[in-house]
Amino acid sequence: MVYLKTDEEIELMRESNLLVGKTLAELARAVKPGVSTLELDKIAETYIRDHKGVPGFLNYQGFPNTLCTSVNEQVVHGIPNKKPLQEGDIVSVDCGVLLNGFFGDSAYTFEVGVVKPEIKALLEATKAALYKGIEMAVEGNRIGDIGYAVQEYCETRGYSVVREMVGHGLGRSLHEAPEIPNYGRRGTGSKLRKGMVICIEPMINLGKRQILMEDDQWTIRTVDKSVSAHFEHAVAVGKNQSDILSSFKFVEEVLTLQS
């Protein structure tokens, strides 16, 4: 069942998603060598609750934390822990909140100190692919158009696209229909309609696309242990253009000041 949102509901969802963006910016200030992902998790939970939100992932289907923190070869759903981040790592931080009865959901992959040029290039390509997908989130297009845009951008640059983990609808539930794969054929899949709110979230690997689940039954990593990047926006499908409800602006203001 696809739930179409009214303009008023989309504005409430914008507030939820902007809180996620501001939470990610708080984390951008803290990400550095020696900091643990569990410390990041505590920062996020405190910030969300201080701003009248509820962590969207905490206890969701038994998930134990506020953030999913996935380091290096971990793709998604990493559980925060006490292990310090190292110089040259990357960490994908996926964050959800519940505010005004609606969920916000967004992810950003951070560099820890100075990373290798090929890893920086992977991050830049993954983020660029996200926006290629977002351009397709317009009424009358199809879900396959989004996946094709992401896949074509990444694969022509030599990266691989994770197939098993996909984007999703967003609203009063964290995961709604439809699923939004990061691969596909143009002109295929369900038609996009105004009022749909979807999360587009490329998960792109430096090596091969195959993944496995770690023993914790949550963390997904690459089989070949190549690094993986993940960026996510919540997007409202519009009549003539897409409307990004989440924001990287706050994160990138912090990162610019730090550089």
pLDDT digits 0-9 by tens, 227-243: 999 999 999 999 999 99
The whole-number pLDDT of residue 123 equals: 98
HSE-up (13 A, CA, CB side) for residue 246 = 33
What SS3 state is found at 130? Answer: helix
pLDDT for 256 beyond 90 = yes
What percent of the chain stands above pLDDT 90?
A: 99
Query: Which of 197, 35, 24, 1 is closest to 97 using CA atoms?
Result: 24
What SS3 state is found at 38? Answer: helix
Give 215's contacts (C-beta < 8 A, 6+ positions apart).
Answer: none
Mean pLDDT of the 246-255 span: 98
How far apart are alpha carbons 151 and 132 in whole angstroms?
Answer: 10
pLDDT, tens only, 92-129 = 999 999 999 999 999 999 999 999 999 999 999 999 99
DSSP labels for 71-115? ETTEEE-PPP-SPBP-TT-EEEEEEEEEETTEEEEEEEEEE-SS-
**Second-level CATH architecture of 7-258:** Alpha-Beta Complex (3.90)
The whole-number pLDDT of residue 15 equals: 98
The whole-number pLDDT of residue 71 equals: 99
How far apart are alpha carbons 222 and 96 in whole angstroms?
Answer: 23
| pLDDT band with cut points at 50, 70 and 90 for residue 221 | very high
The whole-number pLDDT of residue 101 equals: 98
Mean model confidence pLDDT for the chain: 98
pLDDT for 259 beyond 90 = no
pTM of the shown model: 0.98
Query: Which of 129, 122, 138 is closest to 201 using CA atoms?
Result: 129
Q: Please identify which residue in the block is written with the tokens 């992959």.
A: 109
CB 15 within 8 A of CB 28: no
